[in-house]
Each structure stands twice: as C-alpha cells, then as structure tokens.
Amino acid sequence: MEKLQNLRGMVDLLPEHTPLWQFIEETARTHFRRSGVNEIRTPLLEPTELFARGIGESTDVVNKEMYSFFDRGDRSCTLRPEGTASIVRAALQHNLLAQGPQRFWYSGPMFRYERPQAGRQRQFHQIGLELHGYSDPRSDVEAISIAWDLLMDLGVKRLALELNTLGSISDRILYRQKLETWLSDHFNELDEDSRARVSSNPLRILDSKIPSTKELLKKAPLLSNELSAESSERFAAVREGLANLGIPFKINPYLVRGLDYYSHTAFEIISDQLGAQSTVCGGGRYDGLVEQLGGHNTPAIGWALGVERLVLLIMQGNIPIKIPSPDFYIINKGKVAEAIALTLARQLRNSGMIVELDCSKSAFSKQFKRADRSNALQAIILGEEEVARNQIRIKNLRTNISNRSLNIEDFLDNSKFSILYC
C-alpha cells in the first residue's frame, strides 16, 4: 500500500518545531494585550464573494490562487487567503462598529495555491492587527509601532521600514490618468504581466519585481506629485510621529496597493537578515473597504506578518528559545506501582508541576534513558521493591544530590510536595 503523505505546500509542524511557534505567538499576544487590542477568531471557510469583493476580482489572488469549491448546498466557498476581509465581515455581521472604534488582532492559517518556497507555503500562517474607526494619523503611527516593537522583541535583526502614501481617492484618480498615459507610451518596454495590468490595475505595475520594468519605472510620474495639500499634511504627520518615536523609515514611492479602497499610508517592514530583502510585515490604510463590503464609511488600518518567514529569521539569528522541561519523570513498573504512579502524576500536575509519566512498561534501564532525554529535573522511581517498602525514590537527574526516599502516604499529602521538590 502506498504511503500517505501531506499535500504539497501543506507542512506538518512537529513537536520539535512548535516551541518556536509558541514563542512567537505568546510574544505577539503579550504585545497586543499591552496595547489594548482584542483577539478575534473567524472561520477558515468563507463565502467566495467576500474575497472577490474584499480583495478584488482583478487580482491574482482571486483569479489564480484561491482554494474555492461548491459545497453540498451549491454555495461557492473559499478557504481564506488573507485575514482582513474576514475581520471586516465579522465586525459588520455582529454590529461591532456601531459600538465605537474597534481594535482587533488575529492569527491562524491562510491558503493560497502558489508555488511553495522558503517561508511561504500553500497553507501559511499570519498574525495581524486591524484598527477600525480611527482616522487620525496617530493611529497609523501606533499600528506601525506595535509591529516594529513586536519584531524587535522577537529578535529579528536588520529591520527597515519602507513608507509611502497613496493619497486620497481623488488624488489617485488624477495620478492614475497620468500613469496610464505614460505606461501606454512605454507599453512595448514593459514585461508581459505589466502589459496586462495597464488598463486593469496600473498602480500594481509600480510594485513590479521585474528588473527591467523597475528600471523603466524610475522615469514614471510619481503619485507624490499629485497629492492634495490635505494628503501631504497627513503624510507629514505620520512621518513626524514615527520620527518622534525613534522608528527609522525610508520613503519608497513605488510601494503601492492597487485596489481603490486603499488610501494614504502604506508600509512594509523588511529585513535583509536572510540575504536578499524580505518583507516581514506589510500593511496600510484601507478606509474604503468597510463600505465596499456593505457597511458605513469607516476609516481603518491594519497589517499582517508571515509566521513562516519569522521562523526562518529567528532560526537564522540563533535566538535562544526556552523550552520548559519536566519537573519530574515518573519511572514505574509493576501492576500496583503503575496504578500508584498514575495517582502521583495527577497530583503533581494539579499542583502546577510538569510531569511526564512513562506508560511503556519497559525495563527500568530504558525508562531511565528516556528520563534523561526528557531533560526532566528529577525522576520518581516506583517499582515492586518501592511498593513493598511503601516508598518512592527520588533521583536528581541534573545535579549530584544523593537519591532520596519518601513515604508514599507522606507524598500524597500535598504539604509534602515541598519536600519532594528541592
């Protein structure tokens, strides 16, 4: 029979990997808690229409990368490819925005059918922040600072913040007209994908990764030249706020978002810790999305960071991750001893200690080897001889302290735990 394996791009997280993931998640949870940001959890499966409207039908994500299918009710369903649209849908469905500004964070798996590569799989994981109902430039600064401080606390090195403004909708209408004209004049010099976007989504061409197109775009008109006075003042306030917090940034005029509901601040936090520049966190303001999904005009800003890429950066940086070791490993053999060992394990765990119980029925020699591999601080030994003497033996596995023995009834009295754990 053929051996079953996981699907391409769907990766198992083995026990040796999960402590690092838990470290990232717990650090993020701490930062969000300190910032008064509340966790929200949405389904993995959503109506396909949500992403068609929320991401855009002209995007590669919707056209080429989504895992979509019809369920038994003949409804088109999609495994979520990103988190923002689901958060907005939940906020609208449960009338949360009527209660005032909302501060959300989320984490979990997303799904896109694309070529697997280092730090990006077909099932990938994101941690994200969404602030709804805030229009002040300070909310942009706060959102960026939360991401920056989180990455610094995780130990990611050589971070750089790239910043741009998309202006208002009216700013972009003027700019899009000029950009389309310029791109049409240089149509034959563009790469194939960019040519396809000239009429459908020209702003996305500015974010091209094709070297020849990037070089050509250095001569293209800039959005910054079309900003209204109000948009310019707003962007200046964001830059001033970041400077006051001591967060360094670089203006990148080619950093854009191609959909109409994006406005004003766009940013990416990158690191060259792995060699080539790599985006760790990306975000921006999307003041038009809530209305596009059926709500009232609501300002909003958010970001998402990729956990797989973070894992690579942290592993490359050799950041020490403390993995809790068992306080006790219980070595036991014999019918009566095994029953007592189960009781001992439960009482120790209920007192807050980490206990690994060996249920293998193996010889003591093999159980001792497993106890050593577990990195437990102490072993509790309980066999037929110990049962006959009504005692347990305690062996320190990490020190030279002599073995001790303790009466079983004394141990079962919780007040004796302090005698055991020393």
Mean pLDDT in residue range 312-341: 88
Q: Which residue ranges are tagged as binding site?
A: 82-84, 112, 126, 130, 257, 261-262
* 132 and 65 housed in the same domain: yes
Q: Which residues are annotated as a binding site for L-histidine?
A: 82-84, 112, 126, 130, 257, 261-262
Kindly report, residue by residue over 234-288, the tens digit of the pLDDT: 999 999 999 999 999 999 988 887 676 889 999 999 988 766 668 899 999 999 9
Confidence of residue 417 (pLDDT cuts 50, 70, 90): low
Q: Please tell me the predicted confidence (pLDDT) of residue 360.
A: 94
Please tell me the predicted confidence (pLDDT) of residue 415. 47
- Check residue 275 and give its pLDDT: 63
Q: Are 265 and 146 in contact (CB under 8 A)?
A: no
Last residue of a domain, one of 316, 337, 352: 316
Look at residue 409 and tell me if it is in a domain: yes
**Alpha-carbon distance 61 to 258, whole Å?**
13
Q: Are residues 358 and 407 in the same domain?
A: yes
User: Distance between CA 283 and CA 404 in Å, rounded?
Assistant: 58
Cβ pair 61, 81 in contact under 8 A = yes
Over residues 335-393, the pLDDT tens digits come to 999 999 999 999 999 989 999 999 999 999 999 999 999 999 999 999 999 999 999 99
Last residue of a domain, one of 316, 347, 380: 316
Average pLDDT, the chain: 90
* HEC per residue, 354-393: CEEECCCCCCHHHHHHHHHHCCCCEEEEECHHHHHHCEEE
User: Looking at the domain assignment, is residue 273 inside a domain?
Assistant: yes
Do 387 and 295 reside in the same domain of the chain?
A: no
Q: Is 78 within 8 Å of 66 (Cβ atoms)?
A: yes
What average pLDDT does the segment 168-184 reach?
Answer: 86
Of 295, 316, 337, which residue constitutes the final position of a domain? 316
Average pLDDT over residues 331-338: 95
Q: Are residues 151 and 290 in the same domain?
A: yes
Range of the domain at 389: 328-420
Q: What CATH number is associated with residue 336?
A: 3.40.50.800
User: Given CA atoms 118, 121, 124, 126 in this order, what sign does their dihedral have?
Assistant: positive
Q: What is the pLDDT of residue 380?
A: 95
Query: In whole angstroms, what is the distance from residue 382 CA to residue 338 CA?
Result: 8
Number of domains in the chain: 2
| Domain co-membership, 252 together with 388 | no
Q: Are residues 267 and 140 in the same domain?
A: yes
Contact 271, 238 (CB under 8 A): no
Q: Are residues 258 and 405 in the same domain?
A: no
Q: Is residue 11 part of a domain?
A: no
Cβ atoms within 10 Å of 410's Cβ, excluding its own? 14
pLDDT > 70 in the chain, percent: 95
